[in-house]
Amino acid sequence: MTEDEIPVDEVTAPWWDATRDGRLLLQRCTRCACAQHPPRLLCTACGAGDLSFEEATGTGIVDSFTVVHRAAVPGTAVPYVLARVRLAEGPILLTHLTGTAEPHCDQPVRLAWRPLPDGRRLPVFHPDPESPWTSS
């Protein structure tokens, strides 16, 4: 499967549509107020089915990462950094970390976008030098 073949269903369609406008959405449970990602039918914390979408701030920190030297998809430029980013709202995204040769855990990062051929975008992150959490 290539990136432009990423499937969309009725649960994920609002999330994908928002990426076209450069907006990263999270689901918020109306019963317990937990935020979650990726979009699901039910809240992973309490099981309620009444979830709404809200826009994330686009800031977070690197929770963990690995540097990939042998890509799973032929033709992918290596090396690249695959990271778990914990958003300011709490949920974790598995994403690419760009713009740094020295990734590290707890590194403040900010949302950027990588375009897909069909107009959708994938959220990627890069170091955020303006974050109050960035050490100098």
Binding region for Zn ion (CB under 5 A): 29, 31-32, 34, 43, 45-46, 48
- 101 contact partners, CB below 8 Å, separation of at least 6: none
By C-beta, is 43 or 85 nearer to Zn ion? 43
Q: What share of the chain is helix, strand, coil (3-state, %, to 5)?
A: 10, 40, 55
By C-beta, is 22 or 47 nearer to Zn ion? 47
The minimum distance between CB 93 and Zn ion, in angstroms, equals 19
Residue type, 94: L
The minimum distance between CB 51 and Zn ion, in angstroms, equals 8
The minimum distance between CB 46 and Zn ion, in angstroms, equals 3
